[in-house]
Each structure stands twice: as structure tokens, then as C-alpha cells.
């Protein structure tokens, strides 16, 4: 959520930002919120004036009683009653207007960073850089479900019977590999100075609305029936929510955390042949990194976090590239975002395995996360980035470490996490 003062001072800038995001249908919201804001401030002025009158009249009532002027005191008391009735009406209006303003403000997108390329959707995202050489095979790499099933590592049929489409069973050495990758990711980030956290896997609605837009909430979140709880779509949600309504001393920043969680998402996504299996699923596990920092430091942290994920994938022999999200592909709270895509030898293309995002003060303004500085209180900047999210990442791993005989090599750095296993065999 942006600062309403920005809309008051430069509504044209806010409208231009909306246009850059190709959300022209939101343009009327700017004028609407300005009109409501004017009304709200007028109501506040009226209410403050009435409170001042009430205080003056109350003081005069006391003086009248002390002077024995009971008749004037009673008349003043009646006036105070009328003032109070009007105040109740004005306070009700003020509350209603504040709710309306807040609802609109939460739909107006965050200002995009000046470095973000302009474009209408993800088809216009811009490649930044490639890392690692693409492995060339003299044979055709099988589809990932075939590879996993041949080593008795995946059971989709049973999962469909138990839970429906979008779920899976991982078994044997593939299940061990899944856990090993997450454990390695945990230690990788701890070595970078991040604190490891296991957060709640359910959050309340006021946290949900603080960390994501309404559209994302509807498309992603699973609601717990009969309770004010949602299953998290990523641990970022509960990790940022941890600091709701807090004032952090400047000396305690930056806060650098890495969190593990299962993730639950409603949307299934595209249905092409290469997106069956375990590419788009309703349930997965993820190691995340989260940073809360001073506004002037968020750009530097964005670069650091991005490079951590790239380095992580390269240690596992997986070529990746960074892809700058264009203006039309940015979620409303994001100021800048770069996707990390892994190389698929089977598909001969890159596919998304993570995303690094700087949300500036959009989340902290919604959640009330502030910094106590010598100059006064200011809203913190929040950033998040995927370290690794198997089982999708397993697709890239097995394809880039696959052998013609059907075995899967385990990089040396990962072997201590999987009992010294060097290769997964049929």
C-alpha cells in the first residue's frame, strides 16, 4: 500500500504507475480515494471543533455550578448532549470513510522501481543473465515423471485416489533427495548469516490482507472452514506477519531470516504436457529468505538475495538465468522482481524455480511495521526470495544430473545430507 500523501501531492504519478502496470481499470480509484479523503478530513475537522466546544462547555458548566448559576449549567448540559450526539454521527462517518479509503488504497499498486522494464505481461519479461553451461545430451532426456517412476520415487496415481489432481507421493531415495535439498538449503542460508525459522503454517485474515493483494488472496489461499485462518502459500506470509504492529529499533536491522514451510496453493496454472506431473501442484515445500531493512538498504539486499539463490543452484550443477519481471507482470505489492529460471535439458528451455522481490514499504505500511530512527519513525522495507522449492526444483535437478542408464548423480556437496549416496539407481 502506498502513502496516501503521495496521492494528495502527485496523483498523476500514481495514475501513470497504474498505466505502466496495464491496470487502467484502476485509474478511477485514484480520484475516488482523493474525494473520500477530502470528505474524511472535513469530518475530522468538524469533529475536532465539536470536541473543543464540548470541552469549553464542560468547563463552563463546572464554573456555573460553583457560582450557583444552576439554570445556565443545565442549559449548557443540554448543549453538551446535542454536541455528543453529533459527535457520534461524525465519528461513525469518519470510521466508514476510513474503511472505504483503506479498501481502495489496498487496490492501488505499489510504485514500480525505475529500473523495471515496461511490458504488458510475462511474455515481455527481460532476460538479465545466464549462469552455467547448458549440458548437452546425446540421448533424449525422458519426461520427469518417467524418470522418477523408474527409480520408484513418484506415485501420482495413488495421490489422485487419496487427494485428487495436483498431489503426489515421493518415495525412497527421491523422497530422501527432496529432504536433502531442503536441509542443504537451510544450512546454505545459515552460512550466509540468516537465522533459521519454522513459522506457523496458518495465518489470520488480517495478516493475509497485509502481505498480499486481494486477487492473489482469492487465487491462492485455502480458507479453513469455520475459522479465521488460511493455509499459507509461502512462509513469507507468516514470517512478515510476525512483525505486524511492531516498532523495530534501527540498531536491530537488518533482520535476515530463512524459513522452511509446506506451501498450499489453489491455482493449478497451465495444463501443457510439460506442466503435468509435479510442475504445478497444490502442495509443496520451500526454503525461503526474508529481509526487513532500512529503506536505503533494500536495493543492496535485493542484489544479495538474488545472488544467493543463483549460487545455490550452481552448487548443484543446475544452469540458471535471471529474468526481470516487466511492469505488467509485477504483483501489486512488488516494486521490483526478478525470477530465477532453471535450464531443462528435456524441454530445451528455462522454467521458473524462484522469484526475488523487493516490496519496499508496501507490506510494512499495511501491517504497521515501523523503524525507530533518530529522525523519527518510518516504515521498513521488506524483501523475500525463494532459496529452493522442491518438488518443482527436482525436475531441474534430475534432468541436469541424469545419466543415459536411468541413474541420477548426486553432487558431492549434497551427499552428506543423503547418507553419502552418490547415485540414485533403478
Rounded-to-integer distance, Cα 243 and Cα 291, Å: 12
Q: What's the pLDDT score for residue 43?
A: 93
**299 is written with which cell numbers?**
536495493
Q: What's the pLDDT score for residue 280?
A: 85
Q: What's the pLDDT score for residue 82?
A: 87
Q: How many CB atoms lie within 10 A of CB 369?
A: 25
Q: Which domains does the chain have, with CATH numbers?
A: 4-105 (1.10.287.40), 122-424 (3.30.930.10)
Q: How many CB atoms lie within 10 A of CB 255?
A: 18
Q: What's the pLDDT score for residue 270?
A: 45
Q: What's the pLDDT score for residue 272?
A: 47
The residues, any chain, with a CB within 8 Å of residue 136's CB and separated by 6 or more, are none
Q: Which of 111, 1, 97 is nearest to 366 (CA)?
A: 1
Q: Give the angle 122-332-98 at the CA atoms, nearest 5°.
A: 160
Tens-level pLDDT at each residue, the chain (426 residues) = 899 999 999 999 999 999 999 999 999 999 999 999 999 999 999 999 888 888 888 888 888 888 888 888 878 888 888 888 898 999 999 999 999 999 999 999 999 999 999 999 999 999 999 999 998 889 999 999 999 999 999 999 999 999 998 899 999 999 999 999 999 999 999 999 999 999 999 999 999 999 987 777 777 899 999 999 999 999 999 999 999 999 999 999 999 999 999 999 986 454 444 456 888 889 999 999 999 999 999 999 999 999 999 999 999 989 999 999 999 999 999 999 999 999 999 999 999 999 999 999 999 999 999 999 988 899 999 999 999 999 889 999 999 999 999 999 999 999 999 999 999 998
Amino acid at each position: 500500500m502506498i502513502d496516501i500523501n503521495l496521492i494528495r501531492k502527485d496523483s498523476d504519478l500514481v495514475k501513470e504507475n497504474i498505466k505502466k502496470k496495464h491496470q487502467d481499470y484502476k485509474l478511477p480509484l485514484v480520484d475516488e480515494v482523493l474525494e473520500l479523503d477530502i470528505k474524511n478530513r472535513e469530518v475530522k475537522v468538524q469533529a475536532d471543533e465539536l470536541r473543543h466546544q464540548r470541552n469549553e462547555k464542560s468547563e463552563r458548566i463546572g464554573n456555573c455550578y460553583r457560582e450557583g448559576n444552576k439554570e445556565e449549567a443545565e442549559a449548557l448540559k443540554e448543549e453538551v448532549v446535542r454536541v455528543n450526539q453529533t459527535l457520534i454521527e461524525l465519528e461513525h462517518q469518519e470510521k466508514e470513510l476510513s474503511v472505504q479509503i483503506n479498501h481502495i488504497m489496498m487496490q492501488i499498486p505499489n510504485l514500480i522501481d525505475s529500473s523495471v522494464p515496461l511490458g504488458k505481461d510475462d511474455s515481455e519479461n527481460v532476460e538479465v543473465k545466464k549462469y552455467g553451461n547448458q549440458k548437452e545430451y546425446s540421448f533424449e532426456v525422458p519426461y520427469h515423471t518417467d524418470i522418477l517412476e523408474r527409480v520408484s520415487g513418484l506415485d501420482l496415481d495413488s495421490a489422485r485416489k487419496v487427494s485428487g489432481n495436483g498431489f503426489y507421493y515421493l518415495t525412497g531415495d527421491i523422497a530422501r533427495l527432496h529432504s536433502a535439498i531442503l536441509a542443504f538449503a537451510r544450512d546454505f542460508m545459515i552460512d550466509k548469516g540468516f537465522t533459521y525459522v519454522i513459522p506457523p503454517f496458518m495465518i489470520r485474515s488480517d495478516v493475509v490482507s497485509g502481505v498480499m493483494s486481494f486477487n492473489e488472496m482469492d487465487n491462492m489461499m485455502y480458507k479453513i472452514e469455520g475459522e479465521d485462518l488460511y493455509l499459507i502459500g509461502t512462509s513469507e506470509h507468516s514470517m512478515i506477519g510476525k512483525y505486524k504492529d511492531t516498532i523495530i529499533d534501527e540498531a536491530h536491522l537488518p533482520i535476515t531470516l530463512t524459513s522452511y514451510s509446506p506451501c498450499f496453493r489453489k491455482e493449478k496454472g497451465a495444463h501443457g504436457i510439460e506442466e503435468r506431473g509435479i510442475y504445478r501442484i497444490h502442495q509443496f515445500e520451500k526454503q525461503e529468505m526474508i529481509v526487513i531493512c532500512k529503506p536505503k538498504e533494500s536495493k543492496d539486499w535485493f542484489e544479495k538475495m538474488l545472488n544467493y539463490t543463483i549460487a545455490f543452484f550452481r552448487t548443484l550443477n543446475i544452469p540458471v538465468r535471471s529474468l526481470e519481471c516487466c511492469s505488467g507482470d509485477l504483483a501489486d505489492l512488488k516494486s521490483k522482481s526478478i525470477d530465477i529460471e532453471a535450464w531443462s535439458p528435456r524441454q530445451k528451455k528455462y522454467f521458473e524455480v524462484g522469484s526475488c522481490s523487493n516490496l519496499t514499504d508496501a507490506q510494512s505500511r499495511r501491517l504497521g511495521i515501523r523503524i525507530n530512527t533518530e529522525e523519527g519513525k518510518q516504515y521498513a522495507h521488506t524483501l523475500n526470495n525463494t532459496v529452493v522449492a522442491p518438488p518443482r526444483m527436482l525436475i531441474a535437478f534430475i534432468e541436469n544430473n541424469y545419466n543415459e542408464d536411468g541413474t541420477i548423480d548426486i553432487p558431492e556437496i549434497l551427499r552428506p545430507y543423503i547418507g553419502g549416496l552418490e547415485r540414485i539407481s533403478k
